[in-house]
């Protein structure tokens, strides 16, 4: 069985009802049954001056608003696939320039069970694309509608310092996207081995190899072949007297109307920088004034 939709059908059906806000997939008013996945990694910390529940809430909310702005939403945890009616922001549409021109270099390669080599790339270009779409807390572009219900592939962890907290994500692109879903793997944790920031970063790079290995195993279990993988992490030291949260997520959403051309499928032939020049030449500050 193959996809009942073309990639153009997916994107044309993934525009929401709001001019300047993206919205969660499955909410009423979208242009069709398509959705867009956006990748985000963040951490957040707060001083230990409250009870543990409140400290967990505040550190999580700070992780939501840090980096690509995904604050003020109701995250609904889901499993981790971008399916036949889904597309990836920064990869399929508004493709990051470094991916479009081939300047992003591989981190490593992995061999599939059939002997084919899989290139593994840094996830940074896809994170940059997500921040370009949403903006930041202080400088917003097309964020998710405040208060909206948003299905996300997500995991988080809350830790008490002194320790390190980290979040990681991998995206594996299916070779046959007319038949199979692409896969998200989310991982979070603490207590990275090492006495210095450099040692801890090296330990996290080694952990990325384990995440890639888990992708290969998941593909073999379901007879899905992946052609390339994106992987990366975000980490922060949590001092004594602080609580930290590590958040990894990929919201499933529909785009703001003003973030898409007519027809929206033109985004499939547009790089991220072309999209920014046409649809987001300026960012908005919190008070709505141009910056």
Catalytic residues: 186
Pairwise CA distance, residues 14 & 22, whole Å:
10
Peptide bond into 198 cis (omega under 30): no
**Locate tokens 């210095």: which residue?**
196
DSSP codes of every residue in 67-116 = SS---S-EEEEE--EE-TTEEEBTTTBSB-HHHHTT-SPPSEEEE-TTS-
**CA distances for 86 relative to 83, 249, 251, angstroms:** 5, 16, 11
- Do 267 and 261 contact (CB within 8 A), yes or no? yes
Eight-state DSSP code of residue 223 = T
Considering only CA atoms, which of 216, 226, 230 is closest in space to residue 104? 230
- Please say whether the beta carbons of 105 and 112 come within 8 A: no
């Amino acid at each position: 069985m193959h996809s009942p939709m073309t990639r153009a059908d997916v994107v044309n059906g993934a525009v929401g009802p709001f001019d300047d806000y993206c919205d969660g997939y499955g909410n009423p008013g979208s242009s069709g049954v398509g959705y867009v996945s956006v990748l985000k990694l963040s951490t957040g910390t707060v001083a230990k001056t409250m009870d543990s529940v409140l400290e967990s809430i505040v550190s999580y909310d700070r992780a939501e608003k840090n980096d690509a702005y995904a604050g003020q939403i109701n995250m609904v945890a889901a499993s981790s696939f971008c399916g036949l009616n889904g597309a990836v922001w920064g990869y399929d549409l508004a493709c990051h320039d470094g991916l479009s021109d081939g300047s992003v270099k591989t981190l490593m390669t992995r061999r599939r069970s059939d002997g084919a080599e899989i290139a593994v790339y840094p996830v940074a270009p896809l994170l940059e694309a997500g921040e370009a779409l949403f903006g930041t807390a202080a400088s917003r572009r097309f964020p998710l509608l405040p208060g909206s219900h948003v299905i996300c592939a997500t995991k988080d962890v809350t830790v008490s310092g002194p320790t390190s907290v980290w979040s990681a994500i991998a995206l594996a692109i299916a070779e046959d996207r007319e038949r199979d879903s692409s896969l998200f793997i989310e991982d979070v944790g603490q207590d990275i081995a090492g006495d210095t920031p450099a040692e801890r970063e090296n330990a996290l790079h080694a952990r990325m190899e384990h995440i890639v290995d888990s992708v290969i195993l998941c593909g073999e279990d379901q007879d899905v072949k992946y052609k390339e993988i994106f992987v990366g992490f975000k980490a922060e030291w949590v001092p004594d007297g602080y609580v930290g949260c590590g958040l990894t997520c990929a919201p499933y959403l529909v785009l703001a109307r003003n973030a898409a051309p007519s027809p929206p499928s033109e985004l499939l032939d547009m790089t991220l920088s072309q999209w920014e020049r046409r649809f987001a030449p300026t960012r908005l500050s919190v008070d709505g004034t141009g910056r």
